[in-house]
Structure 1
Amino acid sequence: MTSRTGWRWVVACALVAAATGCGAVRDAGGGPAAPSEPPSTPAEAADHAPARFAAQVLARAREADVDPQLLMAILYNESYKPHDPDAERAWLRLDPDAALGVANMHRPAFDEVKSAHGFADRDWLELPDDPDLAIRAAAWYLHDLAASLPDERSGAHTTAELLALGYNAGPGAMRAVARGATPGPQARSYLDRLRAHWAKAGEALTR
């Protein structure tokens, strides 16, 4: 959801490394056409991959009636930075508008979905420590985006692509592209990564 790119997280890591031990950046209906220590072993690196949240993705996608493969692919898209709770809190001190959690959710979006979908007692600041809450909020945000798609669409993008674009750029941008507007460079990059992650997301859910 965040519009921040990977290099900004590298800057954040450099700024907070002494306090947090932030390590190297890790790349981590209808599918697309065609969110603390550096890893020392492949197994350790894999522990930070979104695939480890397959059970939560399946449960929360079912709860919100959204495509679990789309939800998992978005987690892969948002995994360009290490989701270390201490590092995220340190970055939040530098940027109060930062996105938090494994789904990189901003406070206004979280506050909107929590009030509408039965977890109004939860706080955005809990996201770094609670991946299930982050996934739950992301699933419901996708649900709400789907409900706001226009009935008439240009057909240039699949539903999954439009929802991913809405997750990244907001509902207004999503609806504009659905009606035929050309996505900007950042949106196109996000969709390219979604397509690249699509098969991997599906495999993660069937292991």
Structure 2
Amino acid sequence: MAATPSVCDFGWQAQPFALPATDGKTYTLDDLKDDNGLLVMFICNHCPYVLAVLDKIVRDASDLKTLGVGVAAICSNDPQAYPADNFDNMRKMALDHAFPFPYLHDADQSVARAYDAACTPDFFGFNGDLGLQYRGRLDATRVNREAPDLRRDLYEAMKQVAETGKGPAEQIPSMGCSIKWKAA
């Protein structure tokens, strides 16, 4: 079922975390941020919305790093109910797609809850002070319907954040599969 996150809460402060990554390291928020900001993405392995833009996520992450923006991806889905999203499969996806960013596992889903993540993909773009400045879509790509010359909404917004510390006033929310929460 498709889900849409809420609009950007400008200035909301990134919540600290320490999560294991597919590269065998544990990363904190401070490890990931760079001088001009941080992009935190909630993604997963099986979501068709993520898979439709995965190559663009990798491209934009590489391009953002050159602008001094740190990048990380987090998988918070319940791996018992969705085995495609388990840690071994996360590791395989990161290797197969040569992720230029850490792919983190939020096993207890506490980080997704702290960020109020709604869907995959869900993008949180922070400035150098870790204040939220972007919570929008990657671009206008939709599952099974792509145009090669789409405006790079996420990249352009984060470029603006890197240059000015402020995100665009107008943002179009991302759309994707809902986070797969563990049963209570």
**Scaled by the length of structure 1, what TM-score is found?**
0.24
Would you tell me which structure has more helix in proportion to its own residues? 1
Larger Rg: 1
Which structure has more RCO (C-alpha within 8 Å, separation ≥ 6)? Answer: 2
Decide which structure has greater strand share: 2
TM-score scaled to structure 2, two decimals? 0.26
